[in-house]
Amino acid sequence: MWTSTADQLALLEAEWRTPTPRFRNLPLIARYHAAVAGEPAYHRLDDQTWADLNGDDLFARLDGTVSRVGQQCLYHRLRSPLADAPALQEFDQAARVLAGPAPRGQALLALRGLTSPESYYLPDLLAGNALPELSWTAAAPALVLLLLATVVGGFWQPALWLGSAALFLLHTVLHFVYRTRIVAGVRPMLQLGSLYNAGRKLARLEVPVAAVGGLGEPLSRLGSIVNKVAFLQFEGQLQSDIAALPWLMLQYVKIVLLLDFIVYHSCRREVELHAAAIRAVYEGVGYVDCALAVAGFRARQVHCAPAFTAETGLRLAGAYNPLVAGCVPNDLAVAAASVLLTGSNMSGKTTFMRTIGLNALLAQTIATCPATAYAGPFRRVVSSINLADNLPEGKSYYFAEAETILGFIRAAEAGAGGYLFILDELFKGTNTVERIAATQAVLAYLQPRSLVVASTHDGELGALLAPAFTEYHFSETVTDTDWYFDYLLKPGPLRTRNAIRLLARAGYPASIVQAAQALSHSLAECGGLNGHVELAETSRVPPLINKDYFGTRDVSASST
Task: For residues 248 and 239, give the distance between their C-alpha atoms in angstroms, rounded to a whole number.
Answer: 10
Q: Is the pLDDT of residue 238 over 80?
A: no
The answer to whether residue 144 scores a pLDDT higher than 60 is: yes
- Report the distance separating Cα 132 and Cα 130, nearest Å: 6
pLDDT in tens, 173-207: 777 777 777 777 777 777 888 899 999 999 988 78
Q: What percent of the chain has pLDDT over 70?
A: 84
Which of 317, 319, 340 lies closest to 328 in space, CA to CA?
A: 319
Query: Positive or negative CA dihedral for 501, 507, 508, 510?
Result: positive
In tens, the pLDDT along 461-489 reads 999 999 999 999 998 876 666 777 889 99
Q: How far does CA 339 lie from the centroid of its chain?
A: 27
CA 355, distance to chain mean position in Å, is 17
pLDDT category of residue 338 using cuts at 50, 70 and 90: very high
The pLDDT of 427-432, averaged and rounded, is 83
The DSSP bridge pattern shows strands 476-478 and 483-485 to be antiparallel
Q: Enumerate the β-bridge partners of residue 307.
A: 375
Q: How many Å apart are CA 403 and CA 397, to the nearest integer?
A: 10
CA 211 vs CA 13, 214, 218: distances in Å: 22, 6, 12
**pLDDT tens per residue, range 244-262:** 666 667 677 777 777 777 7
Q: Residue 39's CB: how many other CB atoms inside 10 A? A: 10
Query: What would the mean pLDDT of 422-446 be, rounded to a whole number?
Result: 90
The answer to whether residue 299 scores a pLDDT higher than 70 is yes
Bond preceding residue 377 cis, omega within 30 of 0: no
Q: Output the CA torsion sign for 454, 459, 463, 467.
A: positive
Query: Are the C-beta atoms of 53 and 384 separated by less than 8 Å?
Result: no
3-state secondary structure 389-446: CEHHHCECHHHHHHHHHHHHHHHHHHCCCCEEEEEECCCCCCCHHHHHHHHHHHHHHH
Residue-wise pLDDT tens digits, 49-93: 999 999 999 999 999 999 999 999 999 999 999 999 999 999 999
Which pTM does this prediction carry? 0.84
Q: Which of 405, 492, 419, 417 is nearest to 451 (CA)?
A: 419
| Mean pLDDT confidence for 139-168 | 82
Predicted confidence at residue 470, as pLDDT, reads 93
The pLDDT assigned to 548 comes to: 43
Average the pLDDT over 121-139 and give the result: 73
How far is the C-alpha of 148 from the C-alpha of 95, rounded, in Å? 59
